[in-house]
């Protein structure tokens, strides 16, 4: 494994900031594997696996899944990748997860290339999440359990308490870049791409 071919990007930002949408687009453009712990966990819930049954009430309440569960999922997902070309959407979310990820990436010789923080005002975030639920319902699709105003506000509060300290963590490493997450998807993507294209 040569370090030159490794690229690890972390997306930070509150629920509804658009991390998932932008991560998929960047993954396709840069040959990165998008890893979303939320997607992995929701898949387990949908398939009613033992893990899914364990985390379903946690997700429905807008709380954070225990660190040990998420770290194990991530380790299993990336430990065989060579080279390590990955974009994390929604992970890490706590200081303990960030520390565990740092250790894992050190083992793999693939340090974080860039940490992108999408900044969006709170009320716009709530509006986006509620609208996502409305659109899913109108289309006859399943509405995510966290796409309600009550749960969305609770998730914002949890984010501020648990995840915001990660901003300082990645600032200390010199890898953090704040990006304005408002505007059209293309406008936000252009801002993020400017960061990723120069991060190695």
Point out the annotated binding site.
16-21, 37, 42, 63-65, 90-93, 97, 132, 144, 155, 183
CA–CA gap between residue 5 and residue 195 (Å, rounded):
17
Q: Are strands 85-89 and 33-36 parallel, antiparallel or unpaired?
A: parallel
Q: Which residues pair with 118 in a beta bridge?
A: 179
CA–CA gap between residue 97 and residue 95 (Å, rounded):
5
CA–CA gap between residue 62 and residue 41 (Å, rounded):
13
Q: Quick one: which of 46, 61, 116, 114 has its CA closest to 85?
A: 114
- Residues contacting 55, CB < 8 A, separation 6+: 41, 44, 45, 65, 69
Q: Which residue ranges are tagged as binding site for ATP?
A: 16-21, 132, 183
CA–CA gap between residue 70 and residue 93 (Å, rounded):
10
Q: Which helix (H) or strand (E) holds 86?
A: strand 85-89
Q: Which helix (H) or strand (E) holds 177?
A: strand 176-180
Q: Which residue ranges are tagged as binding site for AMP?
A: 37, 42, 63-65, 90-93, 97, 144, 155
């Amino acid at each position: 494994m040569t370090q030159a071919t490794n690229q690890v990007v972390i997306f930070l930002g509150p629920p509804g900031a658009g991390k998932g949408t932008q991560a998929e687009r960047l993954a396709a453009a840069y040959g990165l594997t998008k890893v979303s712990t939320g997607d992995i966990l929701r898949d387990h819930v949908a398939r009613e696996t033992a893990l899914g049954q364990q985390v379903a009430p946690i997700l429905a309440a807008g709380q954070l899944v225990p660190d040990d569960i998420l770290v194990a999922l991530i380790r299993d997902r990336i430990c065989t990748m060579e080279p390590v070309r990955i974009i994390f959407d929604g992970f890490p979310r706590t200081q303990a997860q960030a520390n565990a990820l740092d250790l894992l990436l050190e083992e793999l010789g693939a340090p974080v290339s860039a940490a992108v923080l999408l900044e969006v005002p709170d009320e716009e975030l709530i509006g986006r999440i509620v609208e996502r639920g409305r659109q899913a319902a109108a289309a006859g699709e399943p509405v995510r359990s966290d796409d309600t105003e009550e749960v969305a506000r609770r998730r914002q509060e949890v984010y501020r308490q648990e995840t915001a300290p990660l901003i300082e963590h990645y600032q200390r490493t010199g890898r953090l870049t704040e990006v304005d997450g408002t505007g059209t998807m293309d406008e936000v993507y252009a801002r993020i791409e400017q960061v990723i294209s120069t991060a190695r």
